[in-house]
Amino acid sequence: MYAVIESGGKQYRVEEGATLQVEALDAEPGTAVTLDRVLLVADGENVTVGAPVVKGASVQATVVRHGRGKKVIVFKYKSKVHYRRKRGHRQNFTALRIDRILI
């Protein structure tokens, strides 16, 4: 069984027991989180597609930890005018462990 959920403007394919990184959520590590934006649920041969979400479906997850992603370098450059700007960015994330997919 798997589901496609939306969190932080991005879509993720999740299964029970899987761990994934989503945009930073406001929850302490160890607490339970319910994700209600379920776009698709597949259980064997049955596939339920929402319009835009599946009614009554949710995904229960546990917050594992918070962290920061790998650094992304942003370099702006214009030739012949000595214009150079170098910046780095690290995005905050929350690691979730998927406990149950409810239909």
Q: Where are the domains of the chain?
A: 2-102
pLDDT of 98 strictly over 90 = yes
pLDDT of 50 strictly over 90 = no
Instruction: Give the Å distances, CA to CA, from 86 to 45, 73, 76.
Output: 51, 7, 7
Residue 12: CB atoms within 10 A of its CB come to: 19
Mean pLDDT along residues 5-25: 91
The reported pTM is: 0.79
Mean pLDDT along residues 73-80: 97
pLDDT of 8 strictly over 90 = no
pLDDT of 72 strictly over 90 = yes
pLDDT of 84 strictly over 90 = yes
Structure confidence at residue 46 as a pLDDT band (50, 70, 90): confident
**Which pLDDT value is given to residue 74?**
97
**Which pLDDT value is given to residue 91?**
95
Mean pLDDT along residues 29-56: 89
